[in-house]
Each structure stands twice: as structure tokens, then as C-alpha cells.
Amino acid sequence: MKTLISMLASMALVLGATFVHADDHAAPSAPVGMVYGLDVSDPAAFAGAMGKYWSSPTGEQNPGVAILRQVVAGGESPISHIVSVVYPSYEAMDAAFAINAQSEDAATFQREVSGAVEVVTSSMFESTGLGSMKNQIGFGPGTASLYVFASVSDPAKYASAFQKMMGSTDIGETDTMLFAMPAGGVGDTTHVVSVTGKSVGAVMAQMNANRADKDFQKFIKEVRDIRTIEQNIVTVDMAVFGNMGG
């Protein structure tokens, strides 16, 4: 089902901020990650188990950062929460997989959440390094994100038009990033755009402003023949766990 997979690859996207330098002019690095779409029946128990794992010796060795997000607008999908685990590289991701495969802490986590959560699906993402994070919103409880899933037939042309638009459009009090989806995406989805703000209201206000922005509308016209929108969803961060080093 398209809506199920579409949600999953999205939620790690905001985590690109994890590996960006504090300098507003620094170019975003290229994090990668896994995203898990979940049907959670006991959110408190699940969050507690996540906290226990990430505080364990295994969690302290894990080179990633995990964000637990609640889906507040996701269409007909049964996914209620998303867990995004983001790494600075594929090598770091491989190291985490190896650590967890031999860890009793990871096994305990799996046992503790077995009755509280069902994994609906999983996806992978890569940062393109394109977009703007000048507001350095990052992530954390209350942070909201809108994710736009798109099928792009000409990635180079789309990326060029996207970055041109970002250079001329006022993004207000939000940050916007473009990500590629190499595995587990919605049908034909190849890219996801994340718009992140300090609240749902801030994100939606920016989207309303975009509709009146001439440069944004020019971008929409430029990519209309090479881009198809697959899904839009909105999430709110609940908790952040893990290695916060950049």
C-alpha cells in the first residue's frame, strides 16, 4: 500500500541537522538512515524501552541518532509513530547493525516492545545536501515536519530547479531539505522534501506563504513535467535518543 511505505522513508529526513556544523554558512553533510513506520499500541512503554536501550552500553556505542515521531496527519495509513535512525555514513550504519546483532541490550529491547508495537515497514534515505538549514531548527520534542514525497524522472534537472528556488524563496521560520530514497520508497518515489518548523502552525504558515511566492510558483511550473507528488504527511517529534556528536 503506497501510503504505508510513503510515511516511512520520510521521518529521518529532518535529522540531516544532526550532522551539520553550527555555522549557518556551512554546507549540510550527507547523512544516511533507516526509518521504521510503526503501529504503536502503548506509546509510553515503547518510548521507555527506547530510552533504556539508548542508555545501555550498546546504545552508547551506537553511532546513530534516533528520533521518535508521532504522525499527526497521514491519510489512511495505520502508522501512528515513526522511528528514524540516522548515521553520518553507511559505514556507521553497518557498524550499528553489527553491534546490535550481537547485543543482549538490543535483544532485550526487541522483547520489551514485542507486545506494544508492530513494524509496518522500513525505508532508507540519503541526504542530497541540497536545501537550506539557515534557521538551524534541527529536531526535538514539539518540532514539526511536513514531508512531500515525489517521483522524479529527471533528478539532475529537478535538483537544479530546487536549489535555484531555495536561493530566491523566503523560507521564513522553517528549514527545507531534499533527500533521495534509494530503497523502500512509495511506489515510484525517488525524492522527499522536508519542511521543518518549531510547530505545526509554523510549518503550515510557511506552506501558505509559498503558494503566494512567485519564485516558488515558478519552480512548480519548471518541474511539473518531471515530478509527481505521491504523498504529503505531517509529524511531530516526541523524543530524541543517541549519539549527538556531529
**Domains along the chain?**
2-241 (3.30.70.100)
129: left (phi over 0), alpha (psi -120 to 50) or beta: left
| DSSP label at residue 13 | G
pLDDT in tens, 12-27: 343 333 333 333 434 4
User: What pLDDT sits at residue 76?
Assistant: 73
Alpha helices in the chain (DSSP H): 2-8, 43-55, 57-61, 90-101, 104-113, 155-168, 200-211, 214-223
Interacting residues of 63 by C-beta distance below 8 A, sequence separation 6+:
87, 88, 92, 95, 96, 243
| pLDDT-derived band at 9, boundaries 50, 70, 90 | very low
User: What pLDDT sits at residue 42?
Assistant: 92
Q: Which residues of 94-123 are buried (b: 16+ CB within 10 A; e: fewer)?
A: ebbeebbeebebbeebeebbeebbeebbbb
Neighbour tally for 64: CB within 10 Å: 25
Does residue 56 have a pLDDT over 50? Answer: yes
| pLDDT-derived band at 103, boundaries 50, 70, 90 | very high
User: What pLDDT sits at residue 198?
Assistant: 95
Mean pLDDT score of the chain, rounded to an integer?
Answer: 84
pLDDT in tens, 171-190: 889 999 999 988 876 567 78
163 touches 130 (CB < 8 A): yes
- Residue type, position 66, single letter: A
